[in-house]
Amino acid sequence: MSERIEAEWLSSEAARAVTEMLEAGGHAAWFVGGCVRNALIGAPVSDIDLTTDARPERVVELARAAGLKPVPTGIEHGTITVVAHGTPIEVTTFRRDVETDGRRATVAFSDDIAEDAARRDFTMNALYADARGHVADPLGSGLADLAARRLRFIGDAHDRIREDYLRILRFFRFHAWYGDPQGGIDPDGLAACAELAEGIAGLSRERVGGEMLRLMAAPDPAPAVASMAISGVLMRVLPGGASDPLSVLVHVEEEAGLAPDPIRRLALVGGEAAAERLRLSRAQARTLQSLQEALGAGWGPGELGYRLGRERGLDVLAMNAALSGREIDPVSRETMEAGAGAALPVKPADLMPDYTGPALGEKLREIEARWIASGFALERAELLP
């Protein structure tokens, strides 16, 4: 099977400058991984990666001679980031693994593209394209698997996972983004993930969180997350998390015109200490906490909008709808949006000096509760003591 890709990034000034630099120096220049995979299926490409038989020091030498900027971002693993026309392109020497511990690998450089392909994770990621777009499939299975949207580990799944246990989470993430929902998840890969799930405990929380956020950002992560639950992986990542409501939430989101939101979806899945386990940013952790607290607060639609604002109020409406197995009620949405635009007509200064300190706060809360219960209808004069 032969293929050729055509993409804007392939003919960009930056890509041409780096491939010409390598080829003029007598070396191979192959685009690899996500940029090739996504170009073949018409998906967006965010990063451009190249691989070559040139050793890192040689890449640095060639880049400088060509007037480009080499940055040794991962030189111990063979990676030099070459900045060309303001665009960073990672250039990595062909490699083969010498030793792995489940988190990182000791590598040896290679001159063989097949050895480089064999150390990668999934067959659809072991695809290469030269500067003219001609695709190489060194393992002989990547193109067929990509065409069928079939996500499979390269070689023995157990071996690939033992090399880096993060591949367990990547397996579910890539299935959500690139797998065929009708074809289901690869049973051999799933079985290996289940058998080796305890290896997740040795991964950094940042790496685990990064994979989970990417997974939850997929158009429909529900089948992959359900497979995580069945295999016992979800329990390792988010103890107490529930995958069942997620498929309903995805449907609710589509009907409501909501874009995928990883934090909204994580809030519904739940799990013990999710923000800490996934090392979420402070902003993400605050949002997750506010959504989960609102989900259990019993607030009506108007109060949701008033307390959370339109965007997050709609998130909670969607989550509540998913939990009850229905779509968002249009009237509830209108009420929530009205609440989001409402402002309490009584200010603290209106109650002073009769009320101060804790008594002032208590009185304001009592007034606010009456105002919310009225559907935001009571005016200032009706609310003042």
List residues bridging with 80 in a β-sheet. 91
Task: Tell me what pLDDT residue 30 has.
Answer: 98
Query: For residue 57, how many other CB atoms are within 10 A of its CB?
Result: 13
DSSP-assigned letter for residue 102: B
Task: Tell me what pLDDT residue 166 has.
Answer: 97
Task: Tell me what pLDDT residue 1 has.
Answer: 45
Domain-wise residue ranges, the chain? 1-148, 155-237, 241-342, 345-383
Give the relative orientation of helices 166-178 and 187-195 as an angle to the nearest 10 degrees: 150
Ordered mean pLDDT values, 10 residues apiece, the chain (385 residues): 85 96 97 96 93 96 96 89 96 81 68 94 97 96 96 96 96 97 94 98 97 98 97 97 96 97 97 96 97 94 96 97 95 96 94 93 95 94 91
Q: Which CATH class is domain 1-148?
A: alpha beta
pTM given for the model: 0.90
Residue 67, classed as helix, strand or coil, is: coil
The runs of H, that is alpha helices, within the chain are: 13-24, 34-41, 56-65, 113-118, 142-147, 157-163, 166-178, 187-195, 205-216, 222-231, 233-237, 244-256, 262-269, 274-277, 282-295, 301-323, 330-340, 348-351, 357-373, 380-383
Task: Tell me what pLDDT residue 99 has.
Answer: 56
Give the CATH H-level superfamily of domain 155-237. cca-adding enzyme, domain 2 (1.10.3090.10)
Which residue type sits at 140? G
Contact 18, 68 (CB under 8 A): yes
